[in-house]
Amino acid sequence: MPLLVINNTAQAAIVAPDSPPSLAETFVNRNLVETGDRLFYALYDIPYATLPSVDSVTIPADLMFVFRLMSADGATELGTMTPFIYFDAGYNRGLISWYFPASANITWDVAYIIRISQNPTYFPSPEYVDVVLSLDAYTSETGQEDNQGELATNLYDMGQRLESEYDVTLFQSSGSQMILTTEGEQYFRGAISGLQVLAPSLFLIQYPTATIVSENWTTEQFNTYQHRFDGTWVGTSENATAEQFGGTADVVFAFIIIVPICLGFIIFASLKYRRAEPGYLVAPLILTMGALLGWVPIALFATFYQLMAIYIAYLIFFARG
Q: What is the pLDDT of residues 209-263, one digit of tens each?
A: 556 666 777 888 888 888 888 888 888 888 888 888 888 888 888 888 888 988 8
**Cβ atoms of residues 46 and 92 within 8 Å:** yes
Mean of the per-residue pLDDT values of the chain: 87
**Cβ atoms of residues 111 and 136 within 8 Å:** no
Q: Does domain 22-202 have CATH number 3.40.1180.10?
A: no
How many CB atoms neighbour CB 176 within 10 A? Answer: 5
pLDDT at 269: 85
Percentage of the chain exceeding pLDDT 90: 52
The span from the CA of 94 to the CA of 61, in Å, is 11
Average pLDDT over residues 195-214: 77
Instruction: Give the 3-state secondary structure of the chain.
Output: CCCCCCCCCCCCCCCCCCCCCEEEEEEEEECCCCCCCEEEEEEEEECCCCCCEECCEECCHHHHEEEEEECCCCCCEEEEECCCCCCHHHCEEEEEEEEECHHHCCCCCCCCEEEEEECCCCCCCCCEEEEECCHHHECCCCCHHHHHHHHHHHHHHHHHHHHHHHCCCCEEEECCEEEECHHHHHHHHHHCCCHHHHCHHHCCCCCCCCCCCCCCCCCHHHHHHHCCCCCCHHHHHHHHHHHHHCCCHHHHHHHHHHHHHHHHHHHHHHHHHCCCHHHHHHHHHHHHHHHHCCCCCHHHHHHHHHHHHHHHHHHHHCCCC
The tens digit of pLDDT for each residue in 72-106 reads: 999 999 999 999 999 999 999 999 999 999 999 99
Is the pLDDT at 6 greater than 50, yes or no? no
Nearest to 282 by CA among 306, 256, 296, 264: 264
How many CB atoms neighbour CB 188 within 10 A? Answer: 25
Instruction: Return the C-alpha torsion angle 293, 294, 300, 306, nearest 10.
Output: 50
Confidence (pTM): 0.63
The tens digit of pLDDT for each residue in 119-177 reads: 888 888 899 999 999 999 999 999 999 999 999 999 999 999 999 999 999 999 987 88
Sign (positive or negative) of CA dihedral 108, 111, 115, 116: positive
The ranges assigned to domains in the chain are: 22-202, 220-317
Measure CA 116 to chain center: 32
Percentage of the chain exceeding pLDDT 70: 93
